[in-house]
Every structure is written in C-alpha cells, then in structure tokens.
Amino acid sequence: MNAWGGIGSALLLWPGFFGGAALAWLLVWIQRKAAAQLQGRIGPPFYQPFFDFIKLLGKDTAVPVGVNRRLVFALPLISLVAAVCAVSLIPVPGNPMPSFAGDLVVLLYLLEMPALCEVLAGFSSRSLYGQVGSAREAVLWLGYNLPFLAAVVSLAIQAKSLTLATLAAVPLGPVHLAAAAAFLCALPARLKRNPFSIPNAEQEIVAGPFTEYSGVPLACFELSHGLELVALASLFTVLFLPLGNTFALRWPLYLVGSAALVGVITLVATATARLTVRHAFRFYWSWGACAAILALMIAGMW
C-alpha cells in the first residue's frame, strides 16, 4: 500500500472514522454499563450509544434565534473531523498511517480542537447555561493541560523525538511512571467526568455548552466526544503499555488496556462528587503541577 492509500484507510476505516466510531461506542457503553453496575442498576444494552447516535441524526435541528446557522453546523463538524484525524495519527495496532517527524505536535493540536469547538459552541449559543459551561470549560482547560502536556513532553524529551512511533518504542522506565501519573491526573477533566464534570454539570447548568444543540449537531458532538475518549485511551496504551510487536499480544493488550482505563475513570467518577472550578483549578496547579515537574525532572536527568 502506498502512502496515500495508508492515510486514506487510516482516516476512513481503522482507526479513523468507521473503526474509531465503533470503538468509541463500545467504550462509551463500557462507561455507562460500569457506572450502572456500580450504582446497582442493570444499565443499557451494548448497542445503546449507536442507536442514540442514529436517533439524533433523525431529529430536527433547532437553531436558536440570532445564532448563525452555518456556525451551528460547522463547529460540531470541525470537532468531529479533528477527533477523527487525532485518532488516526496514533500508532495503535493495525494503523496504516505512515509516521512522520512531528506528528506528536499535530496530534496535540488536534486533541485541543474538540474542547475549543465546545467552548465556542457554548459561547455562540446565546444560552446562559451554555455560556457558563463554556467559561468553566475554558478555565478548566488551563488547568488540566498543565499535567497533560508535561506528561507528553517529558516522554518526548526522554526519547529526544517528536515522532509518536519513536515515543511508543522507548522501553518503559521511571519517567513513564511519573508521566502516567500526570496523564491520569488530567484525564477525568479532559473527558468531563466526575470529580471534574464541571462544564457539563447537568444538575446546575442543564447540559452546559450543548444546552441549545439538537439533532445532527448534537450527534456530531456526542460522536466527537466518544472519539476523544478513544484517542486518549489509545494514546495512554501506546505510550505507557508495553504493546510489543507480536500481533497476538498487541491487539488484546490494546483493547483490554483501553477498556481498563475507561473502567478506572468510571470508578473514580461514580465514587466522587463534583468539585467547584476553584478547587479543580487548584488541584491541577498544585498536585498536577507536582506530577508535571516530577516527570520533567526525571526526563531531564535520565
């Protein structure tokens, strides 16, 4: 397969749009099912996220008065495309995407796009709840990116490379431990799960930035959030798990690793209550900063 064929099939089939969406729905289902079981409920059947998505595609789209119609459709679409591109860059098992120098930087930019689109969507929706949700998301964004970026940068310093495949091939060491701690610390806020479900706190601000969104735009936002989950779980397994080169070991380790990560996040989410923005920000700039500095120091010294 030539390079363009590889890029095309990575974006469309696996791990891009179709394969990524299937894995996203599976991980979202694991999240919902695990949360239900922990709360003593039965929980949704495994096809639930898929049917939710299809149903939303078939709903009317209400555009609020005074909001640009093109913006309502463009923001979720940009978010979705960025999430698909981000997922297809990560060297997960079976990814035909050719590796290039600096793909880590591209990935980090693409991973910020869904959050950015969400903030813009909330601010532009003319809903008070949307604006409060967006403001919270923007503040939190400055918090969780400190440990998240430090985790990735410390691995890049150690590997002396900005290529994801090189980072993934580095044998595990003490820097991975500190970087994984910083990464895990940033994850619940990135996914807007408890105790950091502050921007989409449904008991306080309805659905946060998505309050005014319905139909196809809402479906795109839901799917891009699922793909974000896939991207972060993939990034974690690729960077911090010894996936190795044998086919029989890579696939199960990747899938089980992703599912286990989602399980841990759900366990934390169901066991904790929501923090305020102030406390969450303080958490990230104290404990998150500690993990970040530790990871960077170890990376610099080793």
Partner 1 sequence: MNVFERLLSVSRRKSPWVYCLNAGSCNGCDIEIAATMGPRYDPEQVGALRQGSPKHADILLVTGPLTLRTQDALCDIWGQIPRPKAVVAIGSCPASGNVFVGSPTIVGPLAQVIPVDLYVPGCPPRPQAILQGCIQAAHLLAAGKTNDQLATRKDGR
Residues that bind partner 1 (CB under 8 A): 32, 36, 39-45, 47-48, 50-52, 54-55, 57-62, 129, 202-203, 206-207, 210-215, 218
List, in order, residues 6 or more apart from 294 with CB less than 8 Å away.
178, 181, 182
Pairwise CA distance, residues 288 & 294, whole Å? 10
Between 15 and 215, CB nearer to partner 1: 215
Shortest reach from residue 20's CB to partner 1, in Å:
20
Name the residue nearer to partner 1 (CB basis): 129 or 284. 129
**32 vs 274, which CB is nearer to partner 1?**
32
Return all residues near 287 (Cβ < 8 A) that are at least 6 apart.
Answer: 185
Minimum CB separation from partner 1 for residue 173, in Å? 43
Q: Is residue 86 within 8 Å of residue 106, measured between CB atoms?
A: no
Cβ closer to partner 1: 67 or 170?
67
Instruction: Report the interhelical angle of 69-89 vs 17-38 (nearest 10°).
Output: 90
Nearer CB in complex with partner 1: 60/247: 60
33 vs 176, beta carbon nearer partner 1: 33
Name, in order, each residue with C-beta under 8 angstroms of 223's C-beta and a sequence gap of 6 or more.
Answer: 21, 24, 53, 80, 83
In the complex, what is the shortest distance from the CB of residue 11 to partner 1, in angstroms, rounded to a whole number?
A: 23
- How far apart CA 86 and CA 169 sit, in angstroms, is 19
3-class SS letters over 8-41: HHHHHCCCCHHHHHHHHHHHHHHHHHHHHHHCCC
CB of 289 to partner 1, least distance (A): 34
**Minimum CB distance to partner 1, residue 221 (Å):** 11
What is the 8-class DSSP label of residue 276?
Answer: P
Alpha-carbon distance of 267 to 154, in angstroms, equals: 28
Spatial CB neighbours of 276, under 8 Å, sequence gap ≥ 6:
198
Query: Which one, 10 or 218, has the nearer CB to partner 1?
Result: 218
CB of 153 to partner 1, least distance (A): 38
Rounded least distance, CB 264 to partner 1, Å: 21
